[in-house]
Amino acid sequence: MSGVQVRVRVGGEQYALPVEHIHEVVDLGELSAVPGSADSVLGLLNLGGEIVPAFDLASILQIERDAHPRRLLIAQCEGQRAAFAVDEVLDVGPLDGPLQESDSPQLLASIVLDGAMVGMLAVDGLFASIAPAVQR
């Protein structure tokens, strides 16, 4: 896969997103609760006057997590922004090697990097999975 990727850890797994979809990375901090929201919704973030919904990436990807996430990736896709909680940002750079394609709408492919499997996330697939919450 060409291009620069942001590699993150979510639970015990690693994922990568294209850097062109990442607006910024911030500490989790305080979020405003959204009563009655889905389990994956962590709350709302005030990002310089813009209200951005924050989602638990582990919940979206159905991954077990031992600890509370520490960072938020502010991602954008087709004019919409959302924050995705991750445990840590591991690296920013190209991912080189053979890819194994995926049938998942949220995963483009996977690659073995430094002995670890890294899932290449489909940003449009992530936004499609949260669309009902973003459009409220």
pLDDT at 136: 43
pLDDT at 27 over 50: yes
Pick from 69, 19, 29: nearest CA to 52: 29
pLDDT at 65: 86
Position 2 confidence tier, pLDDT thresholds 50, 70, 90:
low
Averaged pLDDT for residues 72-98: 94
pLDDT at 100 over 70: yes
The tens digit of pLDDT for each residue in 104-118 reads 888 999 999 888 999
Query: What is the CATH number for 13?
Result: 2.40.50.180
The number of C-alpha atoms within 13 Å of 107 and in the hemisphere containing its C-beta is 18
The tens digit of pLDDT for each residue in 36-84 reads 998 899 999 999 899 999 999 999 999 998 888 999 999 999 999 999 9
Question: Based on the structure, what is the number of domains in the chain?
Answer: 1
Which of residues 33 and 132 earns the better pLDDT score? 33
Rounded distance between C-alpha atoms, residue 15 and residue 32, angstroms: 27
DSSP for 17-55, please give it: EEGGGEEEEEE----B--TT--TTEEEEEEETTEEEEEE
**Domain that includes residue 84, residue range:** 4-134
